[in-house]
Structure 1
Amino acid sequence: MYNRGEIVGNLCPALCREKKIRAPACHTFRGGKEAIFSAEKDDSSQLIFKYSAKYSKDAALGEAMFQPDSFGRISVPSDAEFKYMLQELLVAKLNVSVTESQVTNLMRAVIHHESTHPKYGEELVNLWQFAHDHEFVCSAVFGDRGVFPRLLGVCGQYYAVEYLEPLPVDADWPDRVKLAVMTLELLEQLERDLPEPFHLCDVKMDHFGMTPGAQRIKFLDLDSVLPRRFANHITGDGRQCERDADCDFFDCRSRCGDLSGTCDNPVTNNNLQIVCEKLFVGWTLSGTVVVPGLLMSPRTSSALSALLRLCSNPDSETNDLARSPASSHTKRRLYMMLSEMYSSLSLLD
């Protein structure tokens, strides 16, 4: 399609013509989501191409700034106009501040041609389509913060992000402790390094990935990553409810108003609570761990086990899922305990 001039994108030449990017594997990502494919560059580094169909080309061409002329040529707004409109769109999508330099860097990352090139207008349309995709936007705007996969470029309706290794489910105990420490560091970054804290609303083991060399953990399932105000708006949107679960957005939990019978509360738990519950402790049934998590093993000390129980269920709720946030004091204790444990285990190797 690229060779016929039907698609554009900065990665298209390397992928379709020069063959500097090879795509050996096509597969479906996280069951039920659109197909993606993994690829490899000449330097043997890997990348992941994701398909985006959140906003059609016809819808984009319906925007006033892209109205074709009488010859069918796409109208091209000035750089200043497009940057302003793109910035406004990103702010509306994320409900957080987005700087002009972030918009400029995004355009540089995906636009292949100069503004005088005949295909430049099509590239702007393509970028406008991608800017309606929440996962793309999170990688594009915050990929340099070390918490989400970095955006590497686009081709047609596919965009590429860095490849991250899945967390090893069969890791030995020292590696499990190290992974838990890195996960806590990720949660701290989500609180501290973004314009406002972000909630992880769908926590599963395969929604986390490691950079090469296991130096850092990042979160992959960006459909369910929301700025705090955005998440609070979803759980507290005023809809009718009969029970607390009616107000939940996946793992972002809330409470049904006792008097109002409506969802009028913000997210009541936090990232630390849900990570302790679902990633560190594992899947429980009637208070019994059925599928052990990262930190549940015969080597789990009684002190660590007690701290994990406090972290995953701060108010010892028994009739429902835990809905209270784990405290910052619990976070500090857990981080110190795991860090000291990993240091001791490393000395034994």
Structure 2
Amino acid sequence: MHWRTYLHYFLLLVEASVFSLKLGILVYAANMVFVLTYNSPCSDEEALKTIHKLCLDALNKKAFGNLCLPLCESLDLQYSFCTNGGEKDVFFMSWDNSITPSPAQLVMKRTRFTDQIVNNLYSTKRDDFVNVFLTELKTLVNRHTKSKYIGNMKDLLQLFWTIEEDKHLKHENVDFLRNVIGLAFQSEYMFMLLHPIGNIAPSLRGSCGQFYFMEHVPLRLSDVAITWSSQVSIAVKLLDLVQQMEDAYFERLHMCDVKADNFGLDDNNHLKLLDIDSLHFHSALVRKMSDQHCLHDRDCQVWNCRGLCNMTSQKCRPLRFNSNLQNVCEEIFLGADSYDGLLSNPPSSVGDDLREILHSCVVSNHISDVDQDFTSQEMKIIDLLKTILKKKTTSSIR
């Protein structure tokens, strides 16, 4: 082979190596930005700075909400500590109020960069700002419910009760409208606002600016599931929750991040789902799946809501391949990752029967391509599980 040919191939190799190096640097830089933005430990100093800025906005009538007063003026709402909330600011607060005998423990949250998104979407120079705002708000509300209608500002104020109405404030005030739309962009806030009844999620207590405040659920499953009787009690509550997801709302509700850390018990021993952002109504979930390109079925997953890939079109099919029940059996009852499993070590008197039905639960096919009622197969599994769990067994310490 001529030396010029060797030189040509050598230069091509060098060019490819340089490209790979540049790509590696870009990937590394992108990962560093993600780590620094979302995974850096929270700081009390930064948290207090954020609250201070929020209170300045509240005092200057740029931030509104029913909890701005106790947070920023009477100071009944005090900062305790913060935690790393990924893409959210998460502050734990103590509220010394006249409603509860002891200070209420609240969680104060905001999805980061919400204000920048709102500022980019809505320019104050637009003459039709209010109409554009109401149109967008209707879209956001309709993602979570079909029973609410917003036709004007009066409807808006009745729905968004955490935004305290100021009689001297014109509702066309841009800052006021940005407060509302900033809250509406946050799916956890919207779910708690629109579905306050049902006891599946922490209760919403109020808002200030684009921050919202919710009930703090102090206990995780691992804190209370000590004896077999307590494990059975929690398991039955989880099964009831699964059934509630099927028929308590205008359409099926999917839990797409099922794991032990995402469930807790409140002071009244009610089981609460803590990761509200992982909830998807059926139509929204299948729409999200069908928008995705894929080469494999795993490309169609939304956390642990599994999908199927159409290999011909390389688009995800508009369906979920597993179910809430299947995920609860697999991830919580049997256990996954570092969690041992709520029902993984039963007494010998029920062990064989329980393991058999849990195996059936996990391997069952639960394709959900329409918003249908609970399948007879799922109902049978739930009834069998409850029957086995309610058998008289001796308490055991794990």
What TM-score does the superposition give when structure 2 sets the normalisation length?
A: 0.70
The within-5 A match list for 1:1-349 is: 1=53, 2-3=55-56, 4-5=59-60, 6-29=62-85, 32-42=86-96, 43=100, 44-53=103-112, 55-56=114-115, 59-60=118-119, 63=122, 67=125, 86-91=137-142, 93-94=143-144, 96-100=145-149, 105-108=158-161, 110-117=162-169, 121=173, 122-170=175-223, 171=225, 172-214=227-269, 216-237=270-291, 239-241=293-295, 243-257=296-310, 260-283=313-336, 291-299=339-347, 301-314=351-364, 327-338=378-389, 340-341=390-391
Query: 5+ unaligned residues in a row in structure 1: which ranges?
Result: 70-74, 285-289, 316-324
What is the CA-CA distance between 1:62 and the residue it aligns to? 5.1
Structure in which a larger fraction of residues adopt helix: 2
Amino acid at match of 1:310: S
How far 1:310 moved relative to its partner? Answer: 1.0
Identify unmatched segments of 5+ residues in structure 2.
1-52, 366-374
What whole-Å deviation, never above 9, does each CA across 1:183-211 have from its counterpart, x for those lacking one?
Answer: 11111111111111111111111111222
Residues 56-88 of structure 1 deviation map (CA, whole Å, 9 limit, x = unaligned) = 267358537x6589xxxxx9959xx97776334
- Separation (CA, whole Å) in 2 of partners of 1:19 and 1:193: 38
Task: Show CA shifts across 1:235-282 (max 9, x none).
Answer: 3336232x3212211111122236555422400111000011001111
8 Å CA contact 1:53–1:157 kept in 2: the answer is: no
Where do 4+ consecutive residues of structure 1 move more than 4 Å?
66-69, 75-78, 81-85, 101-105, 258-261, 343-346
The SS at the match of 1:212 is coil
User: Deviation digits for residues 279-306 of structure 1, max 9, x if unmatched?
Assistant: 111127xxxxx74211111526211111
* CA distance in structure 1 between the aligned counterparts of 2:121 and 2:321, rounded to whole angstroms: 40
The aligned amino acid for 2:73 is: R
TM-score (norm 1): 0.79
Q: Among all aligned residue pairs of Structure 1 and Structure 2, give the percentage whose two residues are the same amino acid.
A: 26
Superposition RMSD on alpha carbons, in Å?
3.2
Alpha-carbon distance between aligned partners in 2 of 1:128 and 1:234, rounded to the nearest angstrom:
22
